[in-house]
Amino acid sequence: MRRLLTYGFLLSLVSAGLLFVATGTSHADTVCQVTDPLTGECFIWVEVPGNPGDPGDDGPEDTGSGKACYWDPGKQGLSRPPAGPVPCTSEYGYWSNNYNCYISAADPQPPAGDPSWQGHEPGDGAVYVCFQPQTDIDIRIWSQDPPPGADTGPTPREVAQMAISQMNLRAIDIGITPEPGADDVGIVGMPVWLWVKNPDSHSYGPITESASAGGITVTATARVEDITWDMGDGSQVTCRSAGTPYEPSYGRQASPDCGHTYLKSSSTESGGKYTVTAASDWVITWIGAGQTGTIRLNGLQRSVQVAVGEAQVLVQ
């Protein structure tokens, strides 16, 4: 049985959401490849290995676009029924995330002077029925224009990408032996250590941000899943940790978790050095609108150059 409520009670139950879009930029040493023609800002980009739900590498799958229409009991201080997606249209009208109900125009419209008009005259806007099948609450609201439907708004995944843009994710600072510089030369056959120099939440994670749009609030948490090191000699090394910073006391030991050994000199390379590039593979998990998902993001990379020479043996 429907429960008919007045507009005054509506104010204590429903607050219309405000749309905002947070913008941010991915940081890396490379030149921006995609720029917004209106603002000149660099777009953040998400590279998905296949469609959401398809397996990528051996890391977490990229999953979940999310449904744009959802029921949120928390807007009314309720605990049930639990939050989750709902059909965007039904016999009761179209779903509004902002009002947390199905919207339809009252038919017939109330007579002049009815409290539902909130002091307006018939013909000035319209009175709408806001019905929640979850609670059987039936509310009359006045609006100058038809309340927006949730099906035209962003999906939870798109709101999660707004949260990602607020994180200001950037490429790692590279730690490597030999240390990049004119006087520091590595030796063929000697272990090279690789690590994330001074990792923080923006370069390695974890970092959590929330964003809201179209009546949806999503919280996303990002962390680096692995780092692929292109060593410049045709080899790639994938490390699933931040690596171990080298200390002189380690001598000629190999890195316990992230390293490489050059088998030839860099003397034939441009400038006599190998270009080493570290590319971060991020995994972002999001939750909101009673739904969850995972986003894979890569493309953040940084490069340094290192010299590697042959050991010279002197024969008396």
* Per-residue confidence (pLDDT) for residue 49, from 0 to 100: 35
C-alpha torsion sign, points 84, 88, 92, 97: positive
Note whether residue 56 is domain-resident. no
Residue in this structure with the two tokens 């043996």, named with its chain if needed: 313
CA-closest candidate to residue 188, choices 75, 281, 266: 266
Percentage of the chain modeled with pLDDT above 70: 79
Claim to verify: residue 134 and residue 163 sit in the same structural domain: no
Claim to verify: residue 145 and residue 240 sit in the same structural domain: no
Residue in this structure with the two tokens 């509004």, named with its chain if needed: 96
Judge contact between 97 and 67, C-beta under 8 A.
no
Out of 152, 185, 205, a domain closes at 152
* Per-residue confidence (pLDDT) for residue 22, from 0 to 100: 29
Average pLDDT over the chain, rounded to an integer: 82
Note whether residue 97 is domain-resident. yes
Sort residue 241 into left (φ over 0), alpha (ψ -120 to 50) or beta. beta
Claim to verify: residue 286 and residue 188 sit in the same structural domain: yes
Could you give the 3-state DSSP secondary structure of residue 164?
helix
Claim to verify: residue 119 and residue 9 sit in the same structural domain: yes
Note whether residue 134 is domain-resident. yes
pLDDT in tens, 238-293: 999 999 999 999 999 999 999 999 999 999 999 999 999 999 999 999 999 889 99
Claim to verify: residue 256 and residue 160 sit in the same structural domain: yes
Note whether residue 191 is domain-resident. yes
The CATH number covering residue 174 comes to: 2.60.40.10
* Per-residue confidence (pLDDT) for residue 31, from 0 to 100: 35
Claim to verify: residue 172 and residue 287 sit in the same structural domain: yes
CA-closest candidate to residue 222, choices 58, 20, 46: 46
- 247 is written with which tokens? 């200390």
Out of 152, 177, 200, a domain closes at 152
Note whether residue 37 is domain-resident. no
Note whether residue 54 is domain-resident. no
Note whether residue 270 is domain-resident. yes
Give the separation between CA 197 and CA 242, rounded to whole angstroms: 8
* Per-residue confidence (pLDDT) for residue 127, from 0 to 100: 97
* Per-residue confidence (pLDDT) for residue 19, from 0 to 100: 26
Claim to verify: residue 107 and residue 192 sit in the same structural domain: no
Structural domain count of the chain: 2
Claim to verify: residue 144 and residue 204 sit in the same structural domain: no
- 208 is written with which tokens? 């959590």
Claim to verify: residue 126 and residue 247 sit in the same structural domain: no
User: Hey, what amino acid is at 61?
Assistant: E
Give residue 96's domain range: 1-16+69-152
Claim to verify: residue 114 and residue 189 sit in the same structural domain: no
Claim to verify: residue 162 and residue 148 sit in the same structural domain: no
- Does a cis peptide bond (omega within 30 degrees of 0) precede residue 148? no
Distances (CA, A) of 170 to 81, 221, 282, 310: 40, 15, 11, 35
Out of 117, 133, 152, a domain closes at 152
Claim to verify: residue 8 and residue 125 sit in the same structural domain: yes
Q: With a cut of 70, list the residues of the chain below it in pLDDT.
A: 1-59, 182, 312-316
Note whether residue 24 is domain-resident. no
CB burial of residue 28 (10 Å; 0-12, 13-18, 19+): buried
Judge contact between 226 and 240, C-beta under 8 A.
yes
* Per-residue confidence (pLDDT) for residue 43, from 0 to 100: 33
